[in-house]
Structure 1
């Protein structure tokens, strides 16, 4: 029989917590993907369409900040969404060097068809928690994320 190696009580608990958090995230992401894949999109593409759908026309930098993505990846994502007709770009009237990205009628129609199902799916994922537990989880995740 193999004996489990211990790194000390605190370290073992830290490692166990990290594994549980990672498995939880993977499980939630997999279930969240149901509606995103159903729309024929990647997570990044859905994120771009979602932010434009709710916030209106934005610069790429604002999309990156709002979707927590990286700059290099975002350019490719937007170019691919442009190719399939879900977004378009036009010069920013306040800064001719910059472009604004806007969701097209085709992109808006897709979001109109899919976003309600996405919200419902998220509701099913988090239905195992009551409102108080969700609030506590938000606080704990923010605390863990900022390290304070």
Structure 2
């Protein structure tokens, strides 16, 4: 005897994973044009919206790992998109922010990114998009 609820849960997980990979692939396609990784774009987006912050705050805002962010930040700094400085109130911490070059880049990418996301999600009606948001929010209460 099979547990059909378990089967539908597994199927839902597989379908969700495949849909997520497809959406991420479509959405990330624009970043390649600008030589930016999805993680770099996400970091620039957070810094653009929230301003300068400690690296640990940036990592928390993006739900990224600190090991990966070390490389991302180093590369973004090398490319001239962000600056890093010692936090005045805590000399052990670093603060990062967008340079003018980084600000110009995110402002250039954002309209195309927004249009790209809208095109990807146009397979759903506005009502279906709201339903999807409602359903996906149920997962935020799960503990890792």
TM-score (structure 2 length as normaliser): 0.91
Give the aligned partner of residue 28 of structure 2: 33
**1:14-53 alignment to 2 at 5 Å?**
14-53=9-48
Give the aligned partner of residue 90 of structure 1: 85
Return the alpha-carbon distance in structure 1 between the equivalents of residues 142 and 43 of structure 2: 28
* 2:95 is equivalent to residue 66 of structure 1: no
How far apart are 1:120 and its partner, in Å?
Answer: 0.7
Give the aligned partner of residue 123 of structure 1: 118
Give the aligned partner of residue 9 of structure 1: 4
Return the alpha-carbon distance in structure 2 between the equivalents of residues 65 and 38 of structure 1: 27
Give the aligned partner of residue 128 of structure 2: 133
Return the alpha-carbon distance in structure 2 between the equivalents of residues 122 and 146 of structure 1: 26
Q: Which runs of 4+ in 1 moved over 3 A?
A: none
How far apart are 1:93 and its partner, in Å?
Answer: 2.2
Q: Counterpart of 1:97 in 2: which secondary structure? A: coil
Return the alpha-carbon distance in structure 2 between the equivalents of residues 89 and 130 of structure 1: 43
Of residues 27, 44, 51, the one that matches 1:56 is: 51
- Deviation sequence 1:27-86 (CA, Å, 0-9, x none): 000101111111111111111111111111011111111111011111111011111111
Return the alpha-carbon distance in structure 1 between the equivalents of residues 142 and 114 of structure 2: 30
TM-score (structure 1 length as normaliser): 0.89
In terms of Rg, which structure is larger?
A: 1
Ranges in structure 1 where 5+ consecutive residues have no aligned partner: 1-5
Say what the alpha-carbon RMSD is for the aligned residues.
1.7
Count of paired positions: 143
Return the alpha-carbon distance in structure 2 between the equivalents of residues 147 and 90 of structure 1: 36
Return the alpha-carbon distance in structure 2 between the equivalents of residues 51 and 145 of structure 1: 20
